[in-house]
């Protein structure tokens, strides 16, 4: 079975509709002001509503305050919360008690030790999303990590990969890592924050061929 595909950083009804029509299983909405893909909560709620029942919707937050997290979750009501900062397992566990959404945690995969350190999220995060290590921005930079770090790893949590995936390299990434889910943002854009429907189509076609 081909991997699940999450198209992240959508910000218009047209690209939400395209991602659904072209076969994405998940979409992501970024609520993080420094991002070129930032969407205000009212717009995120509208886009979430549009996708309701068609694909799973993730709301991406980065080290959001307790107040912002509460406001975001009650307005948007996502299927998934993607924590993409340095959020602790304790914080994720608290949120998990309060809302029915799945909890995903992005982890910057720097070296083999990271795979040990992330065990602290076991039993709390419903999925780990391996991404390139954070730099000036915590994600969405089109930077890939060393896929060979996952080649022989025995996973004990649900997981997926992100970071620098494109229509041209996603087949190789899946072959090298065996990822059950791939997540893309800048690799399907014509400019930062501007999704390109032809690139989304090419990405989904490349994954379907795996």
**Does 131 participate in binding ligand LGQLAAA5 (rule CB under 6 A)?**
yes
Q: Is there binding between residue 162 and ligand LGQLAAA5 (CB under 6 A)?
A: yes
User: What minimum distance in Å lies between the beta carbon of 42 and ligand LGQLAAA5?
Assistant: 19
How far apart CA 29 and CA 48 sit, in angstroms, is 8
Q: Name the minimum Å distance from CB 6 to ligand LGQLAAA5.
A: 7
Do 80 and 104 touch, CB atoms closer than 8 A?
Answer: yes
| CB-nearer residue toward ligand LGQLAAA5: 31 or 95 | 31
Give the number of residues in contact with ligand LGQLAAA5, rule: CB under 6 A: 27
Give the strand pairing for 4-7 and 159-162.
unpaired
- The alpha-helical segments, DSSP class H, found in the chain are 13-22, 41-51, 66-76, 89-98, 112-117, 170-177, 197-208
Residues 173-202 touching ligand LGQLAAA5, rule: CB under 6 A, are 183-187
Sequence-separated (6 or more) residues with CB below 8 Å from residue 145: 108, 109, 110, 130, 131, 132, 133, 163, 164
Q: Which of 64, 97 has the CB closer to ligand LGQLAAA5?
A: 64
Residues 17-36 that bind ligand LGQLAAA5 (CB under 6 A): 28, 30, 32, 35
Residue 170 beta carbon to ligand LGQLAAA5: minimum distance, rounded to whole angstroms: 10
Chain position whose Cβ is nearest to ligand LGQLAAA5 = 140
78 binds ligand LGQLAAA5 (CB under 6 A): no
Cα–Cα distance between 19 and 131 in angstroms, integer?
A: 21
3 counts as binding ligand LGQLAAA5 under rule CB under 6 A: no
Token digits of residue 34? 């420094």
Tell me which residue of 1, 5, 4, 2 sits closest to 188, measured CA to CA: 5
């Amino acid at each position: 079975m081909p991997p699940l595909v999450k198209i992240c950083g959508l910000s218009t009804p047209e690209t939400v509709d395209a991602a659904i029509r072209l076969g994405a299983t998940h979409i992501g909405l970024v609520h993080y002001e420094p991002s070129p893909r930032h969407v205000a909560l009212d717009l995120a709620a509208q886009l979430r509503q549009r996708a309701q029942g068609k694909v799973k919707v993730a709301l991406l937050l980065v080290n959001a305050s307790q107040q912002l997290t509460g406001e975001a979750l009650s307005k948007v009501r996502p299927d998934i919360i993607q924590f993409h900062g340095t959020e602790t397992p304790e914080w994720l566990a608290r949120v998990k008690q309060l809302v029915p959404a799945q909890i995903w945690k992005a982890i910057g995969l720097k070296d083999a030790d990271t795979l040990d350190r992330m065990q602290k999220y076991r039993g709390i995060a419903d999925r780990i999303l391996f991404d390139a290590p954070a730099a000036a921005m915590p994600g969405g930079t089109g930077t890939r990590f060393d896929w060979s770090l996952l080649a022989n790893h025995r996973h004990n949590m649900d997981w997926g990969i992100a970071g620098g995936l494109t229509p041209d390299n996603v087949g190789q990434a899946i072959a090298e890592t065996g990822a059950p889910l791939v997540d893309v943002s800048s690799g399907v854009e014509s400019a930062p924050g501007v999704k390109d429907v032809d690139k989304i189509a090419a990405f989904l076609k490349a994954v379907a061929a795996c």
